[in-house]
Amino acid sequence: MPARTPYTEVRFSGLLERPLILRGELEYLGPGRLGKRVDTPYREQTRVENGAASVQRGDRPARTFSLGQAPELEGFLRGFAALLGGDAATLAADFTLSASGDAHAWQLVLKPRDERLARRVGEIRVDGSERTPLCFVTREGDGDVAVLLVDRLAAAKLPARPSQPQLEAICRDGATP
Amino acid sequence: MRARVALLAAWLAALAVLAAFALHSLRIGTDLRSFMPPPRTPDQKLLMEQIGEGPGTRLLLLSIDGPPEARLAGLSRGLVAKLRADARFEQAINGAFDASALDEKLLPYRWLLSPTLDAHALDADYLADQLGQRVEDLASPAATLLKPLLPRDPTLEVLALAQRWSPPKAPVVRDGVWFSSDGAALLLAQTRGAGFDPAAQGAAIDALDAAFRALPDAGAARLTISGPGWFTVLVNERTRGEADRIGLVSTLGFVLLLLLAYRSLPSLLLAGLPVLSGGLAGIAALALLFGSAHGITLAFGFTLLGVAQEYPIRLLSHRRAGEDALSSVRALWPLLATAIVSAAIAYLAFFASGVTGLQQLAVFTIAGLLAAGLSTRYLLPRVLPARFRDVADHAWLARAVHALDVLPRPRWLPWLLALLGLAVLWRAPGPMWENDLAALTPVPQELLLRDAKLRGELGAPDVRYLLVLHAADAEGVLAASESIEPRLDALVRQHVLDAAELPSRYLPSIATQRARQAKLPDRATLEQALAQAQAGADLPFRTGLFAPFVDDVETARTLEPLTPAAFAASPLGTRLATMLVAREDGWLGLATLSGVHDAAALAAFAESTHGAVRLLDLKAASESLVVAYRERILRALGLALVLLALTVVVALRSTRRAWHVLAPMSLATLLVIVVERASGLSLSLFHLVAVTLAAGLGLHYALFFERPVADPAEARRTLHATLVCVASALLVFGLQALSSLPVLRAIGLTVALGVGFHFCLSILMARARR
């Protein structure tokens, strides 16, 4: 996976009536470090490094908060960065892994080893093809689901109010060219 | 022989009983404040409290370094958890967000506590802006943290309050805890015990160390402690350690000296008993009359009791061949009694000073001197071994007496010395008095620098300055605190100080709470504003999601405003309690300041409030207490001198003879002060006590030299006794003068110099001519 990739993120939340759709660019900055830019529907730049996240929106000064306030969150982001960076060792340290499919269309399911993290994040499912992950589906403890489409899937056409099955289909099909 | 052993046994038994009683019933205070004069004005009272118990002085600054950051953060969290469970600590913080700071019951109060409503109304515009930001939050890494809060608190008032209540200039938070710029985890711990109480602080620091060592992987990590309490313990240990080391060496020297002088081990051991009796009698008297005494009082008392070591030395030196010790002491007693009684009467002046510490000193010293004197007179001669060597037989002593006899003694010399001394004193460099007690027990420079660095990183309050707000009631204090908040913020922007922590930061006045309450919309209005915001900004939130929020606002509309008493139950209440103090004449608010750069500008600001706000400079105020204390000591000493002179005149029944005794003593005392001042030393309380001890010794030299003796052998014995006394005093105090600690040096140098001057001037001015 390249150091940068466009993404489309769809969040389903119990707090929301309809899913939230974000588009922008993800950047892998090295082990444990991640950059995320939101272009629409608003502009935001987030950087995660050294256990802290800094969020900058529009012209407002950046807000920094510590991930240590929820230490489990750091494990999640570490795993995420490891996935993007192809760092298998870090990944296996934080998650139990189960793989299926073949090299052309594979699926990886990650379950957190840390109990506290498991309460927040049920599992992360990754669909990919060859050496490229294309789709991340994160099921959070409270039932919220975030679907992240990257690389060539970032440009996939979505309905105005996509449903979870629709997105899961896009992930599956995206991996089988 | 058998009677001797029986008496000795009885004496020792009595001492043992006395020691048991003294140890059992005397409490030794270590808090500096019990040594100070009693506070008279409300201001001084406040000062006395703040010196030891102000929030700033009870704060310990901690840093942990060594292992990588992630482990440091774990250690920091572990240590804080342990300290919070320890009764010796009032609070421990490390920067971690404490969601329990505002407990569930107080949650609706957030609208009254947070300043949000001062600038915004809970209308559609404001809600639309806030909810828009929450949508963005939901897609950010903060989402998991914020999601549980949203239905009840979509404007994140709880976070706004948490931010308002975290220290004004907090260090960076990484991994959930504070870190310094060079990567050490930082913490603050507030002890319950007073800052300048070495015993309380010692216990707290030991507990802190133990808690840290017991953490699972403390292994390679290093815990650094700083702050007033730690300095108190450190200085105390260093002073005691050095005093013990010097004491050991000088005791050995003293023993050797006496062995050399009297060639008898039993005599030597027995000669220690009168001073021991005196010390124990003094402690017992304190226990009976006061029940407790300050450690410094005892230290001063034992210093002054050093005079009593002369009594047995006089007895040993004055024993005559062919005579038993009892008849020797009878011949010696009138003079010895004069010395003891005059000293005891002089110390009565301390008793009249009205300062508890000085009264205790008087009781201890008078009881000690009398017990030592009486045991030298009535007990020691009866237990001394019968065999001894008459020191008058020493040939060198005869030559020494002869040398002294032929020494020219010009009458003008003392006058010249006095005049020169006064002239030097008048022109001496530096201030006459040292008012800063801390200067005598200084903290090493590198530790002070480290403290300043930690204090800066942590934004911890300054120990020296405090803003004091005064009003008729707590509400008045909080209102005043609110009214100066903008002005203090302006001073912070002008870099007069880094930050100020006002009581109103934790609890606004009732008036302010009511004003905010009045701005809360009713249920229908709020629901309409929410719907309007949702529709206007096309927000995706589920309908009815914010019902808990609407309920909370409705509850907040009818709440009784929070008072300090109601707030006290919450974790932040203890913090507020140290900042709001009830007094007989109203309430005081204490605002701690950090990073004071321009004290003059702060003072000018306080001045401009016409007494509503005062700047309390703890250092200046405590120095003024020291000045008051010293003035009382000086007055007591002046009175003591008069009493002493009268006693000596009455005892000698001659003003001319009394003059011969008192003149050298006075001149020697003057010269000690002259030499110290000429070399740039400023005098402290410790110097004054040392000068007093030296004068007590000098009185002995002069009294014994002045005594007309027909027998040349007796003159030799007098010289022998005086030489042994002088040599031992020079040895003990000369060693102390070499100490690296100014407090020990002050006492040692002053007494050693004094002994030298007193000895020389007694020979010059008091010694009877033959």
pLDDT digits (tens, 9 = 90+) for B193-244: 888 788 889 999 999 999 999 988 788 899 999 988 898 888 888 878 888 8
Answer whether the bond into residue B67 is a cis peptide, omega within 30°: no
Most A CBs within 10 A among B69, B136, B549, hence the mutation to make, goes to B136
| Cα of A116 vs its chain's centroid, Å | 19
Rounded mean pLDDT of B530-559? Answer: 90
What is the secondary structure of B357-407 as a DSSP string? HHHHHHHHHHHHHHHHHHHHHHTHHHHS-S----GGG-HHHHHHHHHHHHS
Most B CBs within 10 A among A23, A69, A138, A145, hence the mutation to make, goes to A69
Residue B56 has a pLDDT of: 74
Kindly tell me if the per-residue pLDDT of B266 is higher than 90: no
By the CB < 8 Å criterion, does B97 face chain A?
A: yes
List CB contacts (< 8 A) between B142 and chain A. 53, 55, 65
Contact A15 B541 (CB under 8 A): yes
Contact A17 B96 (CB under 8 A): no
Contact B145 A11 (CB under 8 A): no
Residue B465 has a pLDDT of: 87
3-state SS, residue B496:
coil
B187 within 8 A of B80, measured Cβ to Cβ: yes
Token couple for B252: 């050995």
By the CB < 8 Å criterion, does B138 face chain A?
A: yes
Which of A14, A22, A50 shows the shortest C-beta gap to B139? Answer: A22
3-state class percentages of chain B: helix first, strand second, coil last, to nearest 5: 65, 10, 25
CB atoms under 10 Å from CB of B84, counted, come to 14
What is the residue range of A160's domain? 4-175
Kindly tell me if the per-residue pLDDT of A70 is higher than 60: no
List CB contacts (< 8 A) between B138 and chain A. 11, 13, 15-16, 20
Rounded mean pLDDT of B449-468? Answer: 84
Assembly ipTM: 0.87
Closest CA of chain B from A9, distance in Å: 9
Rounded mean pLDDT of B420-446? Answer: 81
By the CB < 8 Å criterion, does A16 face chain B?
A: yes
Q: What is the CATH number of the domain that holds A31?
A: 2.50.20.10
Rounded mean pLDDT of B640-666? Answer: 90
Considering the domain B1-30+263-389 in this protein, what is its CATH number? Answer: 1.20.1640.10
List CB contacts (< 8 A) between A122 and chain B. none
Query: How many domains would you assign to chain A?
Result: 1
Q: With a CB-CB cutoff of 8 Å, which residues 542-561 of chain B face chain A?
A: 542-543, 545
Average pLDDT score, chain B? 86
By the CB < 8 Å criterion, does A42 face chain B?
A: yes
pLDDT digits (tens, 9 = 90+) for A86-108: 777 878 888 888 988 888 888 98
Closest CA of chain A from B134, distance in Å: 11
Contact A55 B177 (CB under 8 A): no
Residue among B163, B158, B212, B162 nearest B187 (CA): B212
Residue A46 has a pLDDT of: 85
By the CB < 8 Å criterion, does B163 face chain A?
A: no
Contact A73 B144 (CB under 8 A): yes
Residue among A89, A80, A49 nearest B175 (CA): A49
List CB contacts (< 8 A) between A15 and chain B. 138, 147, 150-151, 541-542, 545
Contact A11 B139 (CB under 8 A): yes
Residue B32 has a pLDDT of: 61
Name the percent of chain B lying above pLDDT 70.
Answer: 95
Kindly tell me if the per-residue pLDDT of B43 is higher than 70: no
Q: With a CB-CB cutoff of 8 Å, which residues 118-137 of chain A face chain B?
A: 120
Contact B140 A53 (CB under 8 A): yes
Rounded mean pLDDT of A150-154? Answer: 88
Residue among B467, B312, B321, B428 nearest B670 (CA): B428
What is the secondary structure of B686-733 as a DSSP string? HHHHHHHHHHHHHHHHHHHHHS--S-HHHHHHHHHHHHHHHHHHHHHH
List CB contacts (< 8 A) between B136 and chain A. 38, 42, 44, 57
By the CB < 8 Å criterion, does B147 face chain A?
A: yes
Contact B140 A65 (CB under 8 A): no
Contact A68 B545 (CB under 8 A): no
Contact A16 B138 (CB under 8 A): yes
Indicate the pLDDT class of residue B577, thresholds 50, 70 and 90: confident
Q: With a CB-CB cutoff of 8 Å, which residues 42-81 of chain B face chain A?
A: 69-70, 73
Which of A17, A50, A120 shows the shortest C-beta gap to B144? Answer: A120
What is the secondary structure of B332-352 as a DSSP string? HHHHHHHHHHHHHHHHHHHHT
Alpha helix (H) residue ranges in B27-101? 42-53, 69-84
Higher pLDDT, A1 or B595: B595
Closest CA of chain B from A166, distance in Å: 20
**Cα dihedral B683/B685/B688/B693 (nearest 10):** -140
Contact A67 B141 (CB under 8 A): yes
By the CB < 8 Å criterion, does A43 face chain B?
A: no
Residue B768 has a pLDDT of: 67
Please state the domain extents for chain B: 1-30+263-389, 410-427+654-770
> B151 to chain A: nearest residue by CA?
A15
pLDDT digits (tens, 9 = 90+) for A122-140: 888 989 888 888 898 988 8
List CB contacts (< 8 A) between B73 and chain A. 51, 68
Most A CBs within 10 A among B144, B539, B545, hence the mutation to make, goes to B144
Average pLDDT score, chain A? 82
Distance of alpha carbon B252 from alpha carbon A128, whole angstroms: 86
Kindly tell me if the per-residue pLDDT of B33 is higher than 80: no
User: What's the longest Cα–Cα distance across chain A?
Assistant: 47
Contact B174 A50 (CB under 8 A): yes
By the CB < 8 Å criterion, does A50 face chain B?
A: yes
Q: Name the DSSP class of A150.
A: E
Residue A1 has a pLDDT of: 46
Kindly tell me if the per-residue pLDDT of B144 is higher than 80: no
Most B CBs within 10 A among A8, A9, A15, hence the mutation to make, goes to A15
Residue A175 has a pLDDT of: 61
Name the percent of chain B lying above pLDDT 90.
Answer: 30
| Cα of A82 vs its chain's centroid, Å | 11
Most A CBs within 10 A among B69, B94, B152, B175, hence the mutation to make, goes to B175
How many residues in chain B?
770
Residues 6 or more apart whose Cβ sits within 8 Å of residue B177: A68, B72, B73, B76, B77, B94, B95, B96, B185, B186, B187
Contact A15 B150 (CB under 8 A): yes
Residue among B173, B170, B202 nearest B185 (CA): B173
pLDDT digits (tens, 9 = 90+) for B693-725: 889 889 989 988 888 887 888 888 889 999 999
B562 within 8 A of B113, measured Cβ to Cβ: yes
pLDDT digits (tens, 9 = 90+) for A5-25: 899 999 999 899 999 999 999
Contact B139 A9 (CB under 8 A): yes
List CB contacts (< 8 A) between B174 and chain A. 50-52, 66, 68
pLDDT digits (tens, 9 = 90+) for A110-123: 888 877 778 778 88
